[in-house]
Structures are given as structure tokens and as C-alpha cells.
């Protein structure tokens, strides 16, 4: 028997067997790797979707969701998470707007992907309910714990300023008088499609003591009543706003202005890029004059921790909190609610549409002042839009979270 001829075929058989085992092991390893990778990718996509949904809830107050009507929806652009995964979301209001006891219902749908380059996706849905908007104000166009001077223009070049007069109401107005405090409910120009029918009028000015109200020049008050004395007004007028506190609201600010005596010497105007509102621009306080534009639904909660001066016009909207004094001039127009711990001075046709609450108390000689043709007019719609973003949300009881795909 020739054993040399037997060894070679046997070696070949062994090599083939080992090769088959190696190929099989490699295929199993590749398959296992792909399966594990697919599982990791799927988990990252799911985690991104869930994180995206909760991110939308966390930023609810800065979005347009609370002001949506039944059937309206709002979508976010793709946003990247710290691990590189991305998500985008859609919020849809699903209630019919009839049952006030239930409150608005929203379906929050978020799609997650492991990265911008990968198409693997998971989608989750959260069902939430709005808890209502806090009632922060307003019982008057101007409500102050302290002294107020309304210093209007004179009726003729040769005339002097009228004598100061306090108290409620007053007689008829001169033909060229200026209504500097107006408690009638106003709908801003071009806002008719976004506001309900105007409601009842409130007081033009409310103070703890009407002897602290001084009217100079050709000034008119409007409201029901035109002016009102409320002895209950005290230190908590500013510190407690409805069921909320000033400090809590300040901590929720979406735009913070730090420093004492900050001066805005450029116009406050909306800014957008690529169809998206540029919310990082400190001079962008929304676009109240441009309904439907990119910054129309941007109503920032602005907090200034010192004295603030807006000196070059423009416009803004939302909720403005000022720890120090506030000076508005050069036809600057603010839509919403302003709350000031110090004194407020408006001049050169500066205007507030919404409401003003201030507490310039306890400082001798200081007062809230409206000069020239400046004015404050009450608007329930402007206040409602400004505070809509403060509405809370809660998950529906039971299984509010589920995966769609």
C-alpha cells in the first residue's frame, strides 16, 4: 500500500473542512455583528425618538402649541442630540375644542434616527393634555403700587401744562386730548384673525390711592371705570401674579438681559434665517406687526435683572419682567404684559398694548410716568398670547406613551 498517495488527499480534505468551518464561523460572526449592530441602531433610533418627544415637552412653553386651534399642527426641524442621533417631531391638537372640562389634547409624535446619515428610524407617540394658562392679569391697563403721572401734550403752542388732578373719571376730553391710559379691550391692527371678540373694559388706571394719580396737559382716560382706587394693592402686586410668583417666572426666561442700565440703542426688530426665527438674537422680541411670519409665534419671556432702556424704537411681544426701572421711547411698541419692580417711563410715542403692572413704591419723588403721546391700552388678546406659552401640560392617565414604528 502506498501511504504517500493517501496523505495528500487527506490533507486536502482536512484543509477543506477547516476552511468550511472558518467560513461558517466568519459568516456567523458577520451575521451576529450585523444583527447586533442593527439592534444597537434600532435602540439608538428609539432612544432618539423618545428623547425628542420629551425634549418637545420640556420646551413646550417656548413653542406655539398652547395657542393652536383644534386640528392645527406644528412640526420641528431635525435636531441633533449630544450622541449624534437626531429627531424631529410633530405636535397635533386632536380635541374638538368643545369640552372645556377636558382641556386641549395633543398628540406628540417624534421620529428618531441614529444619525443624519442613516435611514433607520423609530417613531413614538405621547398623548398629553394642556392644564390651562395662568391668570396673571389684568384688572386695569395700568396697575401700580405707587404714584403715576400722565403728562400729555398741550393743546396749543401758547398754552401751559394743565394742572395736576387726581381721582377717578373726570369730564369730557378736549378735541385734541390724548388717551394715555385706555382700559377698553383692544384688538391690535391686523390681529383680527387671531383674536376673539373684544371683552369687557377694565379700569384705565388702578392705584391704592387715587391722590397719587397726577394728570397734566391734555390727557384723557378710558375704561370702566376710567380710574379706580384699590386699597388692597400692596407689595405683593408684583411679587405674586395670580398663582405664580415673579421669581418663578423670571427663572423660566427664554431671553435674559443681564446688567444694570442696559441700553438698546438699535431698533428691536424680528430676525429670521432660512424661514426659521432667529431666537438667539437679543434684538429679536418677536414679530407682532407681521402675523404669519417666521417670528409671529415667537413670544419670548424676557427678564432684565437691572434697569432697562429701549431707546431706538421697534417692536416686541411676549412677557417682559424688569427687576429695576424701565424706560421706553422713540415709538417703541410692546404687545403683551410688562411687570416692573421699579418705575416705568414711557415717552416719544412709546406704546404698550396689553397691560402694565409696576411697583415704584417707597421711593420719594419717583413715579411711573407717561409723557408726550405715549400710552398704555389694555388688550386681553395680547396678554393671552403673551402668557399662552406658560400653559402647563400633563400626560394622559394610563398608557400615554407607545411606539408607532
pLDDT higher at 312 or 363 = 312
Confidence band for 201, pLDDT divided at 50, 70 and 90: very high
- Rounded to whole angstroms, how far apart are CA atoms 67 and 336? 14
Give pTM, 2 decimals.
0.70
Q: Are residues 267 and 180 in the same domain?
A: yes
> What are 58-90's pLDDT values in tens digits?
777 666 776 678 888 989 889 999 999 999 999
- Please name the helix (run of DSSP H) or strand (run of DSSP E) that holds residue 130, with its range, or none: strand 122-130
Task: With a cut of 90, say whether residue 41 has pLDDT above it.
Answer: no
> What are 102-140's pLDDT values in tens digits?
678 899 999 999 998 888 899 999 998 887 677 788 999
Q: What is the pLDDT of residue 361?
A: 58
Q: Are residues 67 and 175 in the same domain?
A: no
Q: What is the pLDDT of residue 61?
A: 64
How much of the chain, in percent, has pLDDT values that exceed 90?
51
Q: Are residues 179 and 126 in the same domain?
A: no
Q: What is the pLDDT of residue 99?
A: 64
Q: Are residues 121 and 153 in the same domain?
A: no
Give buried/exposed letters for 245-264 (b at 16+ CB in 10 A, else e).
ebeebbeebbbebeeeebeb
Mean pLDDT of the chain: 85
Q: What is the pLDDT of residue 360?
A: 79
- Rounded to whole angstroms, how far apart are CA atoms 401 and 392? 18
Q: Are residues 20 and 161 in the same domain?
A: no
Q: Are residues 192 and 113 in the same domain?
A: no
- Rounded to whole angstroms, how far apart are CA atoms 61 and 65? 8
Q: Identify any residues that bridge with 149 across adjacent strands, giving them in sequence order.
A: 214, 369
Q: Are residues 165 and 89 in the same domain?
A: no
Q: Are residues 56 and 203 in the same domain?
A: no
Average pLDDT rounded to a whole number, residues 212-225: 93
pLDDT higher at 286 or 169 = 286
Confidence band for 14, pLDDT divided at 50, 70 and 90: confident
Domains in the chain, number: 2
Q: Are residues 151 and 167 in the same domain?
A: yes
Q: Are residues 114 and 252 in the same domain?
A: no
Which residue from 322, 319, 323 is spatially nearest to 352, judged by alpha carbons? 319
> What are 230-267's pLDDT values in tens digits?
999 988 899 988 878 999 899 989 899 999 889 999 99
Confidence band for 172, pLDDT divided at 50, 70 and 90: very low
Task: Evaluate whether 241 touches 136 at the Cβ level (below 8 Å).
Answer: yes
Q: Which domain holds residue 36?
A: 1-133+390-405
Q: Are residues 297 and 369 in the same domain?
A: yes
- Please name the helix (run of DSSP H) or strand (run of DSSP E) that holds residue 73, with its range, or none: strand 73-75
Q: Are residues 263 and 149 in the same domain?
A: yes
Amino acid at each position: 500500500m502506498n501511504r504517500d498517495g493517501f496523505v495528500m488527499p487527506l490533507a486536502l480534505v482536512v484543509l477543506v473542512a477547516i476552511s468550511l468551518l472558518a467560513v461558517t464561523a466568519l459568516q456567523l460572526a458577520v451575521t451576529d455583528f450585523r444583527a447586533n449592530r442593527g439592534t444597537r441602531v434600532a435602540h439608538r433610533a428609539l432612544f432618539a425618538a423618545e428623547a425628542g418627544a420629551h425634549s418637545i415637552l420640556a420646551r413646550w412653553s417656548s413653542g406655539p402649541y398652547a395657542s393652536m386651534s383644534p386640528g392645527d399642527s406644528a412640526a420641528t426641524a431635525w435636531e441633533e442630540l449630544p450622541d449624534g442621533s437626531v429627531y424631529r417631531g410633530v405636535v397635533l391638537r386632536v380635541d374638538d375644542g368643545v369640552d372645556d372640562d377636558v382641556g386641549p389634547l395633543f398628540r406628540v409624535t417624534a421620529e428618531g434616527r441614529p444619525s443624519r446619515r442613516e435611514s433607520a428610524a423609530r417613531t413614538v407617540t405621547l398623548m398629553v393634555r394642556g392644564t390651562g394658562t395662568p391668570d396673571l392679569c389684568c384688572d386695569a391697563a395700568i396697575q401700580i403700587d405707587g404714584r403715576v403721572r400722565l403728562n400729555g401734550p398741550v393743546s396749543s403752542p401758547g398754552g401751559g401744562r394743565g394742572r395736576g388732578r387726581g381721582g377717578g373719571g373726570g369730564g369730557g376730553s378736549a378735541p385734541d386730548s390724548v388717551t394715555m391710559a385706555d382700559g377698553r379691550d383692544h384688538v391690535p391692527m391686523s390681529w383680527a384673525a387671531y383674536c376673539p371678540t373684544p371683552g369687557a373694559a377694565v379700569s384705565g388706571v388702578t392705584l391704592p390711592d387715587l391722590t397719587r394719580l397726577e394728570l397734566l396737559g391734555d390727557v384723557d382716560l378710558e375704561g370702566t371705570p376710567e380710574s379706580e382706587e384699590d386699597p388692597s394693592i400692596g407689595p405683593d402686586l408684583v411679587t405674586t401674579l395670580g398663582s405664580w410668583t415673579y421669581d418663578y417666572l423670571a427663572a423660566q426666561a427664554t431671553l435674559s438681559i443681564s446688567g444694570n442700565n442696559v441700553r438698546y440703542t438699535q431698533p428691536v426688530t424680528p430676525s429670521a434665517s432660512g424661514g426659521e426665527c432667529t431666537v438667539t438674537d437679543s434684538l429679536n422680541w418677536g414679530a407682532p406687526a407681521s402675523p404669519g411670519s417666521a417670528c409671529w409665534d415667537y413670544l419670548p419671556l424676557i427678564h432684565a435683572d437691572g434697569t432697562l432702556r429701549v431707546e431706538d424704537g421697534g417692536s416686541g411681544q411676549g412677557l417682559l419682567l424688569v427687576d429695576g426701572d424701565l424706560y421706553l421711547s422713540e415709538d417703541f411698541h410692546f404687545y403683551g404684559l410688562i411687570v416692573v419692580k421699579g418705575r416705568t417711563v414711557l415717552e416719544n410715542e412709546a406704546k404698550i398694548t396689553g397691560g402694565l403692572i409696576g411697583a415704584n413704591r417707597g421711593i420719594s419723588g419717583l413715579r411711573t410716568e407717561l409723557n408726550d403721546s405715549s400710552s398704555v391700552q389694555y388688550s386681553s388678546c395680547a396678554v393671552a398670547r403673551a402668557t399662552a406659552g406658560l400653559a402647563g401640560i400633563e400626560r394622559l392617565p394610563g398608557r400615554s406613551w407607545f411606539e408607532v414604528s
